[in-house]
Amino acid sequence: MQVNLSSWWTIGSVEIPTRVVLAPMAGVSVQAFRRQGRRFGAGLVCSEMVSCAGLEHRNERTLGYLRIAVDEHPLAVQIFGSDPETMAEAARMVEAAGADLVDINFGCPVKKVTKTGAGATLLEDPPRAAAIVEAVATAVAVPVTVKMRRGLENGSRACLDLGRRLVAAGAASVTLHPRSAKQMYTGEADHSLTAELVELVDVPVVASGDVTSRARAQAVLATTGAAAVMVGRAAQGNPWALREIVGESAAEPSREEIVAELLLFVRETVRELGERRATSFLKKFYGWYLGRGRFPRAFKQELTQLETIGEVEERLLAAAPGAAFVLARLEQEHASVDDVELELPISIYGGG
C-alpha cells in the first residue's frame, strides 16, 4: 500500500499537513532552517534540543531557542533533562513561547548530555522517563511527544517496552530512531523495530533514520505502518530533498536557486544569532549547500576562509549573479512575516 506523503495527519489536536517531519538537529535546526523546511514541504519542524536547566536559569542563549516565527507552525520544541519538575517548568515556558508540541529527548547519545542522566540514558530508566512524560503532560495543554533511540547497547529492544510506558504516561506520539546510542550514526537504522513499535502503541509513530529519498520514505512508511517519516541529514543544506520526498518536484535546483537559498539562510541566521556567532555557525552550511557536485570544492573552501559575512555574500553573488533576483523575491515573501513575531514574549525574558 502506498501512503500519500502530502496528506494530513494529526498529533492530538495538532494538524500536520504532510507526512514529512524535519528532524531536530543540534547546531543545525535554527529558525532559518525550520522556516525553510516548512517552505519546502515539511509538515512539522522541530527545534534542536533545549536544556531545561538552561531555561530554568533563564540563560539568554537558551531562551533564544524559544524564538518562534509565525510561518514555522506547526512546530515542536524539544527539551532535555532528567528531573521531572524542571522539565515540567521548561515545558510551560515552551508552551508560553508558542510551540504547538513539546517534544522530549530520550535519544541524545552525546556524553555531555548522558552523563547528566538525560537523553539516551533514560532509555534504561523507564520509571524516571515515564515520570518525566507524566509531569510534562500534566503541566501543558499542548500535546507532548517523545523521541527515542532503540536503546543504549547494540541490538537493544528497550524502546519497545519504553514506548508503551511513555504512551501510558501521556505521550501523544513517539518518534523512533532505531539505532543504539552506542552506534551513534554508524550502521543502519533498523526499521523492523519501528514496525514492532507501531503494533504496540495506539498513537502515531514517526520513523527517523536514513530517509534520504521519496522511494525510501515510501518504503519505510509501507513496511512499518508509521504515520510519518523524519528527515535529518539529507536536508542539511538541501531543502530540495524535502520537496522531492513530499512529491512536489524532483527537479535539481539551479545554481541561482542554491545561492539565493543559501544567502537567505545566511541573512536570517545573522539576524538570529548575531554576526559573530553566525560566522562560525554557518561554515558547515557552505559545504552542505554547495557540495553534491554543485560547485567546485575550492570555492567551498574559499568561503570558509573569509572573515566577514559581507565577503561571503559578495563571493556567492559573483559566482551566480542571477541569484540576486531570486533572493529579492524570497526576501519579499519573507518580509510580511518577519516583522510580526521574531521577538521573544516579554514574559519569558522577565523570568516570570
Ligand X SMILES: Cc1cc2nc3c(=O)[nH]c(=O)nc-3n(C[C@H](O)[C@H](O)[C@H](O)COP(=O)(O)O)c2cc1C
Among 147, 191, 214, 267, binds ligand X (CB under 6 A): 147
Window of 54-62, 163-171, 207-215, 334-342 that interacts with ligand X by CB under 6 A: 207-215
CB of 181 to ligand X, least distance (A): 11
- Residues 159-188 touching ligand X, rule: CB under 6 A, are 177
- 161, 132 Cβ separation under 8 angstroms: no
- 283, 260 Cβ separation under 8 angstroms: no
- 323, 260 Cβ separation under 8 angstroms: yes
- Residues 300-319 touching ligand X, rule: CB under 6 A, are none
Beta carbon nearer to ligand X, 29 or 260: 29
CB of 243 to ligand X, least distance (A): 16
First to last CA, the chain: 50
CB of 318 to ligand X, least distance (A): 30
Q: Which residue, judged by CB position, is nearest to ligand X in the bound state? A: 232
233 contacts ligand X (rule: CB under 6 A): yes
Residues 6+ apart with CB under 8 A from 11: 44, 101, 143, 145, 172, 173, 203, 204
Window of 30-38, 103-111, 126-134, 314-322 that interacts with ligand X by CB under 6 A: 103-111
Cell of residue 155, nine digits: 541490538
d(C-alpha 88, C-alpha 268), whole Å:
31
- In terms of Cβ atoms closer than 10 Å to its own Cβ (0-12, 13-18, 19+), residue 49 is buried
Residue 216 vs residues 12, 119, 220, 229, 273: alpha-carbon distances, Å: 27, 27, 6, 10, 35
Beta carbon nearer to ligand X, 181 or 316: 181
Among 232, 237, 239, 253, binds ligand X (CB under 6 A): 232
Among 20, 140, 231, 263, binds ligand X (CB under 6 A): 231
Task: Give, as one character, the DSSP assignment of residue 234.
Answer: G
- 63, 348 Cβ separation under 8 angstroms: yes
28 contacts ligand X (rule: CB under 6 A): yes
Among 9, 11, 16, 24, binds ligand X (CB under 6 A): 24
Active site (annotated) includes residue 108: yes
| CB burial readout 173-186, b (16+ within 10 A) else e | bbbbbbbbbbbeee
49 contacts ligand X (rule: CB under 6 A): yes
Window of 7-15, 228-236, 299-307, 309-317 that interacts with ligand X by CB under 6 A: 228-236
214 contacts ligand X (rule: CB under 6 A): no
Return residues touching ligand X (CB under 6 A): 23-28, 48-49, 78, 105, 107-108, 147, 177, 208-211, 231-234
Residues designated catalytic = 108
